[in-house]
Amino acid sequence: MSTGVMILAAGAATRMGKAKMLLPYQSVNILQHIVNEIQQIQPQSVLIVTGCYHQLIMEQMKEQQAVKLVYNEKWPTGMASSIQAGVQWILQQPIPVSQLFLLVSDQPYLNAQLLQDMLQLQQQTKKGMIAATYEGIAGTPVLFSQAYFIELLKLQGDKGARSLLKQYREDVATISFPMGKFDIDTPEDYQQFCLQNQTNNAN
């Protein structure tokens, strides 16, 4: 089965006040770290849906020939338009993908092993959606089978994929991702994240 990966990175990050996905993480930035982890599972295609910070992201990712940037001019209308832009790009490719990961660009603890485990769970369960869970919530990353691509195109406004997980819950399998609760929305979040990494490295 061929796998595509879509990273949502279109928002203005108003609470952070700058491009949070480009904040330093280890020797790179958060977005580059996520791309490095993704590439370990050797997907058919990787795209980043950009918006507010398109130019900055393009400059940071210019060395990544295997990563496609898709600019969503409707990004202020909400997450649904970014998902639609990404799925439309996927559907236009000459080599179709049979499943698609939907990721966000502010989960720094996302890793290749989690994505590999989600692919394996999909093969075992044959479910149409595989979602990560943290703090009792099912959310990103989510792996969608091709059967749900049209449903993703129907999302409206600031609705993300979580609405589909609720609507078709009998076709969902979940995998625990406790570190998924850490996303970076504010300067305080990033400061805590950096302190935690320093502590982990010290140990």
11-29, pLDDT tens digit by residue?
998 888 899 999 999 889 9
* The architecture CATH gives domain 3-202: Alpha-Beta Complex (3.90)
Read off the pLDDT of each residue in 151-176 and give the average, rounded to a whole number. 91
Q: State residue 201's pLDDT score.
A: 66
Residue 197: pLDDT band with limits 50, 70, 90: confident
129-163, pLDDT tens digit by residue?
999 999 989 999 999 999 999 999 999 887 778 89
Q: State residue 159's pLDDT score.
A: 74
Residue 203 has pLDDT above 60, yes or no: no
**Residues counted in the chain:** 203
| SS3 track for the chain | CCEEEEEEECCCCCCCCCCHHHCEECCEEHHHHHHHHHHCCCCCEEEEEECCCHHHHHHHCCCCCCEEEEECCCHHHCHHHHHHHHHHHHHCCCCCCCEEEEEECCCCCCCHHHHHHHHHHHHHHCCCEEEEEECCEEEEEEEEEHHHHHHHHCCCCCCCCHHHHHHCHHHEEEEECHHHHCCCCCHHHHHHHHHHHHHHHHC
Read off the pLDDT of each residue in 36-63 and give the average, rounded to a whole number. 94
23 Cβ contact list (under 8 Å, min separation 6) = 29, 30, 184, 190
Q: State residue 115's pLDDT score.
A: 98
Residue 95 has pLDDT above 90, yes or no: no
Q: State residue 196's pLDDT score.
A: 81
Where in the chain are the domains? Answer: 3-202
